[in-house]
Amino acid sequence: MCVPAVFVAMGATPATAATLAAVSQVGLIVGGTMMSVNAQRRAMAYQSMQYATQQKAYKDKADSESLRTLMDENDRKKRYFAQISENRALLSTSGTTADSASYRAFFKAGKEVVKTDLQKIKLMGTERRLAALYGVQQAGLASQAASSAGKAGIYASVGRGLMSGYGIAKETKPSWFTLKG
């Protein structure tokens, strides 16, 4: 804290010493406020970077879920075609022909099962992808909230600094502070 006596000892008049002390105290407050604001800005930038990284991770997960669903569908189709080949081979050894009703009914039932399986695979894949996309949305909202909170903190720091400076200026009443009306 700057004391006017220091400035008097340096050769200033008491009135000038009080003004210089007030100005130096306000300068210290401004410096501290700016350091606080800069720290808050860096923290905001770091949080934004974290949330952006989190959003990218969720987006990548959504993309991987789409690929996983496609791979699961293809795997199910491959198994179906392998089963068809195996079943045709088994039925041909039993003497059943492709024209028989039982042959057509058997393969029609298998086809319906595969359609149902593929629908379930698509539905589960869509559900997993939407969950990941929900994470993208939540990370975006959290980023916006952190930004707003950071800005509010900066405004609060500046306000506290201004109020501290005002109190010092009001207390010392330098000539440049008084309002003439």
pLDDT in the model for residue 1: 53
- Give 35's contacts (C-beta < 8 A, 6+ positions apart): none
Kindly report the number of other CB atoms within 10 A of residue 164's CB atom: 17
pLDDT in the model for residue 29: 86
pLDDT in the model for residue 176: 59
Side chain identity at residue 138, one-letter code:
Q
CB 22, CB 172: distance < 8 Å: yes
Across the chain, which has 181 residues, the per-10-residue mean pLDDT values are 71 77 82 91 92 94 96 95 85 74 81 94 96 94 91 90 80 63 51
pLDDT in the model for residue 178: 60
- Give 3's contacts (C-beta < 8 A, 6+ positions apart): 21
Q: CA 48 to CA 76: how far, in whole Å?
A: 42
Kindly report the number of other CB atoms within 10 A of residue 25's CB atom: 20
- What does pTM read for this prediction? 0.65
pLDDT in the model for residue 108: 85
Q: CA 170 to CA 181: how far, in whole Å?
A: 17
- Given its phi and psi angles, is residue 95 left (phi above 0), alpha (psi -120 to 50 degrees) or beta? left
pLDDT in the model for residue 177: 57
